[in-house]
Amino acid sequence: MKLLLDFLPLLLFFVAYKLQGIYAGTAVLMAATCVQMAIIYAIDKKLTTMHKATLALILIFGALTLGLQDDRFIKWKPTVLYAAMALALAVALWGYRKNFLRVMLGSQLALPDAVWHRLSVAWVLYCLFMSTLNGYVAAFWSTDAWADFKLWGYVFPLVFIVGQALYLTRHIEHDAADTHPSKDAQP
């Protein structure tokens, strides 16, 4: 259910884009994201900073796209979002010596400091990669190719999330084994 909710605005954008063009797709994306955030708020009773930033950027860049009838704005929104995420994580990690991922997820995951650090660095690099990739596609590809990339390009986040889960599973299982010794263990 959560995965469908996460991808629904993108899927609706793609359908509207294919049927009516970029401006209809942009309007649908804006409306679907507002509905998505309302559902998330109804379920969780809050929106994360990431949710708020995503909503704000979609509404701002979408309004610019529709108001100025210029598709470049909506095409560059992911580049700006990913770059802002990379910058925020990097400044927090290396500038302020704070690990935002640990602050947000530390109550849910017990991981060693080194793993939290590697995880944050991985997120910074991933966000930089996605920002650069979307920027390249937005700048040098047609709007049709960019829209197709937005739909099929979701393989990158899925691969990253699966890889991250596999990496974390090794450390979570290892930590769990350390805290719960087996009955056969010798004193």
What residue segments make up the domains of the chain, in order of their start? 1-70, 75-180
Please state, in angstroms and rounded to a whole number, the distance separating the CA atoms of residues 139 and 177: 49
pLDDT of residue 3: 66
pLDDT at residue 4 greater than cutoff 90? no
What would the mean pLDDT of 42-71 be, rounded to a whole number?
92
Please state, in angstroms and rounded to a whole number, the distance separating the CA atoms of residues 95 and 119: 17
pLDDT of residue 68: 96
pLDDT at residue 105 greater than cutoff 70? yes
Tokens 């995880």 sit on residue = 119
Please state, for a pLDDT cut of 90, what percent of the chain lies above it: 59
> How far from the centroid of its chain's Cα atoms is residue 65's Cα?
22
